[in-house]
Chains A and B, each alone.
Chain A
Amino acid sequence: MKNYNKNKFQALNGGYATAEAMRQINPEVVAAYPITPQTPIIEKFAEFVADNKVDTEFVCVESEHSALSATVGASASGIRAMTATSSQGLALMNEILSVASGLRLPIVMPMVNRALSAPINIHCDHSDSMSTRDLGWIQIFCETAQEAYEYTFLALKLAEKVLLPVMVMQDGFFTSHNVEPVKIYPDEVIKKFIGEYKPKNYLFDLKKPITVGPLVLPDYYFEIKYQEIEAMGEAKKVYLEVGKELKKITGNNYPYFEKYKLEDAEVAIVVSSSSAGTAKVVIDKLRKQGKKVGLLKPILFRPFPQNEIKESLKHLKTLAVLDRSVSFGGEAPLFSEIKNALYPLDKKPKLQSYVFGLGGRDLFEKEVEEVFEELLKNKIGEVKYLGLRK
């Protein structure tokens, strides 16, 4: 890796790694409200503010609704603005999520996945971000603290190019609170990568006063929403372009999804975020036993890379999708997307849906192994619940 020697490894949890990315971005405004397990991000960032490591106006608002509302106001002003949240916080922001995307504001929001109430629970699952998948935000799921750190930069540049907000997810506690060696790139390298933000239309352009957030009736609403649809399509292309640029710094790839021993696999699982790490360990073990198993780890969830996923999975005999969330009365979100993606194929892999890890329940290697064994034995059927006591 080109800059390997120049880059420092630091022992950071996912929250601190994200705060470090925010320090390097140095946004003009951060408005945030504390919620477990997002707190390491904003506490660390508050330290940067107190130590004058950033120029940011840090607005400690009285709720997540106000956090995103203030971020929207700040972003519309023509500057970089960020916030961060989790779970109930994201749920409280829900109304303003579609305002941020509808107003085409390039807000980047680190999002630490945590289960939704009730029952109240502070641990990881993906029910929070999955419940907001249709609100016009680009969604990126990260496996590690390193990914959470690096994808924050990709997200920023992507957001500013396509004028859509981006959520960068990491798993609550598993990623946000566990310490890993994180390679931190030099400030000046990152500064150069993100460049200066030059918005076209913004509130502080006093010579050209604009009206942000007008009332739009049936005569124009549809066309405006169509522009958003097109921007999401564009985001898919720009994501790869920005990823290539970032690779010049980090040496890492930024694909739509990671393929792990997938090319020659006969059976595979699809699982995102930190659980993909567990899956990789199991795959290595089973490969040693001569079993042709593999993994597809989705990273970019919105926009969803349907065709590319189809092409990468079409050779499989059987496939399991592991969802860390449910859709009550419907198929689990990731499973449903994968199933859709495979629809155009004449010869489709057999599909099995698993739901696991709700409310932070651990996913053990043994369980992943069992999933592979069942796939290998062609035991396909109704949705199964991993780790559930019945």
Chain B
Amino acid sequence: MSMDIKTLAQKIDSNKKLVSGHRTCAGCAIPIIVRTILSATDDPLIVAAATGCLEVTSTIYPYTSWNVPWIHNAFENVAATLSGVESAYNALRKKGKIDKEIKFIAFGGDGGLYDIGLQSLSGALERGHNCLYVCYNNEAYQNTGGQRSSGTPKGSMTSTTPAGKKEKRKDLMQIVLAHHIDYAAQAAVHNTLDLYQKAEKAFKTKGPSFLNVLSPCTLNWGYMPNSTIQISKLAVETCFWPLYEVEKGKYKLNYKPSQKLPLEEFFKAQKRFSHLLKPENKNMLDEIQNEVDENWNELLRKSS
């Protein structure tokens, strides 16, 4: 479990499951997230992806960036698709036709898991397939030009909420946890070690596990490609995106900022919140800050 960051970096770097040549934007967090997670098991694995940024950028025919078996079916059904793959594995294992331990992992964006794929995810979680479901959460439909999703935070400008989203984002962690699964965690791209350890735990979990990983989007959050890691860090330092895990119902806070930064610090680094920093919108900023504070305090209570 304990690993220094240098060793981890080497391990991720030597991992050739998702290789270069894919066409994600410069500064995209998704490949970092995927490669970190896939490094966390030495077992063979099979990957399923929902339609979205990861799928379209990594498999432009006749090329593929995947060195592991990979399947894409449609947008809303990554969890159901993988449950079919995992069931096939169980059948073959029962017949003695396969003896290797294989890990099954599904990737979807917030569109693919918070919204259109929520039912498929819920069904698969309830059925208890031995799979890891990962949401690379870039907080909107970034692949199609940045339209709002139910994972888009309140106040955020998107191409379908040009004046800022009015509603709070859905708490997918709570929904997932309502399925009584043994492991679910929230992570972010900048904290590689934390993400890696969570992936390790998820892979070791018997039955379903879930990771919700913040994946800043240079294009539609509106920041320079070299700031992805810094943006992700600010999301955590402001408690906008706390790092925590829930293991068999027990909450654990994985990172507590030594000094909780005001939300403004995170918001001012991106264009999507720029309107909230205007003096006339101060009340909106305060309202969102209050909500972040409430959520943070609740998390502190749950994990104490």
Q: Is residue A81 within 8 Å, beta carbon to beta carbon, of the partner chain? A: yes
A60-B127, A70-B80, A204-B98 known; A212-B88 Cβ under 8 A: no
Partner of B95, one of A55, A77, A217: A55
How many chain B residues touch A (CB < 8 A): the figure is: 45
Q: Which residue of B lies closest to A77 (CB)?
A: B88
Size band of the interface chain A makes with B? 35 or more
B73 and A59 contacting across the interface, CB-CB below 8 Å: no
Question: Which residue of the partner chain, among B46, B62, B94, B119, contacts A220 with CB atoms under 8 Å?
Answer: B62
In the complex, what distance in Å separates the CA atom of A204 from the CA atom of B220? 37
Is B72 a contact partner of A214 (Cβ separation < 8 A)?
yes
A79–B92 CB distance below 8 A: yes
Give B63-104 interface residues, CB cut-off 8 Å to A.
64, 66-74, 76-77, 80-85, 87-92, 94-95, 98, 100, 102
User: What are some 15 contacts across the A-B interface (CB < 8 A)?
Assistant: A29-B88, A31-B83, A61-B83, A63-B120, A65-B120, A69-B74, A69-B80, A69-B84, A73-B82, A76-B84, A99-B74, A204-B92, A210-B69, A214-B59, A217-B61
> Which B residue sits closest to A67, measured CB to CB?
B80
Does A330 count as interface, using CB distance less than 8 angstroms?
no
| Pair A212/B72 contact, Cβ less than 8 Å | yes
Does B44 count as interface, using CB distance less than 8 angstroms? Answer: yes
Given A72-B73, A73-B83, the answer on whether A206 and B44 have CB atoms closer than 8 Å is yes
Q: Which of A57, A73, A95, A216 contacts B71 (CB 8 A)?
A: A73
Contact A206 to B91, CB < 8 A, known contacts A66-B120, A69-B81, A71-B84: no
Using Cβ atoms and an 8 Å threshold, which residues of chain A touch B66? 209, 211
Distance in Å: Cβ of B53 to nearest Cβ of chain A: 11
Task: Take A61-B80, A65-B80 as given contacts and tell me if A215 and B92 are in contact as well, using a CB distance cutoff of 8 Å.
Answer: no
- Among candidates B48, B74, B95, residue contacting A96 with C-beta atoms closer than 8 Å: B74
* Closest CB in chain A relative to B51 CB, distance in Å: 9
Given contacts A57-B88, A73-B81, A220-B61, contact A213 B73 (CB under 8 A): yes
**Residue B122, interface by CB 8 Å:** yes
Interface residues of A in 57-98 (CB under 8 A from B): 57, 59-63, 65-67, 69-79, 81, 95-96
Contact B69 A203 (CB under 8 A): yes
Say yes or no: A78 contacts B88, CB within 8 Å: yes
Smallest Cβ distance from B31 to chain A, in angstroms? Answer: 16
Question: Quick check: is A325 within 8 A (CB to CB) of the other chain?
Answer: no
Contact B56 A66 (CB under 8 A): no
A175 at the interface (CB under 8 A from B): no
Give Cα distance in the complex from A212 to B120, angstroms.
Answer: 20
- A258 interfacial contact with B, CB 8 Å: no
The distance in angstroms between the C-alpha atoms of A75 and B67, with both chains bound, is 20
Task: Report the 3 A-B pairs with minimum CB-CB distance, sorted nearest first.
Answer: A73-B84, A62-B123, A70-B84
